[in-house]
Structure 1
Amino acid sequence: MFNDYSDLKFEVFQIMNEKSEIVKPDLMPKISDELLLKAYRFMCLSRKQEEIQTEISEGGKNLNFLASAGQEATEVGYAIHLRKGIDWLVPAYRNNAAWITAGFPIENIYLYWLGNEAGSKVPEDINVLPVNIPIGTQYSHATGIAFAEKFKQSDGIVITTIGDGGTSEGEVYEAMNFAAIHKLPVIFMVENNQWSLTTPRKKASATASLAIRGVGVGIASTQVDGNDFFAVYAMVEKAIACAKAGEGPTFIEAITYRRFAHSASDIKKDYYDPQLEAEWLKKDPLDRLRNYLIANKKWDETKQKQLDVENEVLIRNEINSAMNKKDTKLADIFQYTYAKMTPQLEEQLAEAQAYFAKEGNN
């Protein structure tokens, strides 16, 4: 009498398996060695940055930090497609690899995690929105921008992303439904890293896949191996082509794994499954792509050691610059929520200024 779709599954799209073998050579994307190595370097840079920031967090030198380690193939795989000043990235809060790839300075990223308002200042030549902390709002923002791009008849596309837990928010469906109705040039990524805070994916949703949620609002939807750079790159490339052809949005669930805790203030060992973790570590996206590059004579261990040293120096210089930044203004905290401050914000600013003046600070 009723149709039961609770076990409806998608084939997880994969080009390169866990052993770094190309299992679908006919579907390999046409990507130059230059761009491929650039993508790999971004992945390595992000991983090293997060290792250093985790070390710093444990020393109490920043307020908080949410790492995307383990998700680099997904984030670089979609962000590497963005054209500066044309396309848009509308992120969540766990998108370090995507931010770097899109051109966001590491200094600004670290400033953000220090609680410095300057960290949300976006360079003029990139279209990246500041971090979205309210869960799901980025989907609405991305849909609105995509609507504007279509209205302007530009060829700009919008990519937004969310975690698996975030797909339970009602705003996510409202945004996707509107995008589907108007056939907007937006790509909805879901980084299914197996955890929503401390809740495992299987306890957060009864559906066999998250991709089915896109089908429910009439959007072309798929699952992809999120630790396979080639698969993510190829699927996003196809989604972009569909968007530019006026076919509307795509919903892509990338199956990946969150290597670190939910945040720097979280205690992962209290809830994670060591056996599951061990299995996922064998699928690490950096190892997979590096082994492929080495096997195909595009990389070697000497280059890797050199890159590791260069990344370490770059990251620590950027972080030191952020930590020594002294020109932050108190008013910046209040002035940029709206085009003009509301009476409530003006009142709060005056109160804060009076407090810090009393304390002897500006």
Structure 2
Amino acid sequence: MNTSKKYILAIESSCDDTAAAILCNSTVLSNIVANQEIHQQYGGVVPELASRAHQQNIVPVVHQALAKANIGKNELSAIAFTRGPGLLGSLLVGTSFAKSLALGLGIPLIEVNHMQAHILAHFIKEEDKTVPNFPFLALTISGGHTQIVQVNDHFDMEILGESLDDAVGEAFDKSAKLLGLPYPGGPLIDKYAQKGNPKAFEFPKPKVEHLNFSFSGLKTSILYFIQRKTKENPDFVQEHLNDICASIQETIVTILMDKLKKASKITGIKEIAIGGGVSANSEIRKRIRDMEQALGWKTYIPKFEYCTDNAAMIGIVGYLKYLKGDFARQEVSAKARYIL
């Protein structure tokens, strides 16, 4: 085997997706994700059911990742895994599996911060794709997090602002639930919004100091709006669904973009990257591209498969840590709260 080639098996199990990937250096050879549809009937992720499903999925998902990459487990150089943040029961499954396999194969174990991985996914090697130049600003937006991060180097990151309550993904999903849409509702708001008028209804934008965010007040105002309008007309939501979704999306995206513009102005940084599940939102992608033209930014938008939880992003962090010799001990444990 060519000694310059390092094969990393990456495992991601922070929430309700069981994922495994194989990277050869910074190139993805396979990226397998098993979704858990069982949570849809409950309107959100049930932690106990998630951890059970991970136990069922992890062996077949890893096997499939190895098979697709055409790599034998004895060719692996290291195993990277999500240590946190996330649901503790889910993280324990991935952590235990990674530790056991690394011990059995006698290869290094590499712990990865899930939020760091969303940012460093931009360094996955692909044809005709440029990577961000340091320093850059990263807007990481997901179901559990909303952060603006200044990235000075691969492992030198500073949180400039974050949500003080609900994450932006929660804001989308909870708003969708108020409209009677099934879980996960964020993508459905995006879908209906494309046919609606974003100026049809106005929702308040919370005034939050510095570069922090707050979405709980917005959710409450949407609740009161729906209650008031359906009292006047029981069919209001059904008759105006596209316009309501477009207006909600417009409000949330404007909140995000205003803070990002402020962060760029304060720091003077014009290299801007987005990441996390909510970065798949079509309006966010459009606004980021528009501001590239208007403000002279250079923007970086990940491929859809690297937005939502996946193991390829864990693998690129694993490879970068491998180069530094930054390995974990067998005593390492999962962390539900894991600061960037």
Instruction: State TM-score, norm by structure 1.
Output: 0.25
Q: Which has the higher contact order (CA 8 A, sep 6+)?
A: 2
TM-score (norm 2): 0.26
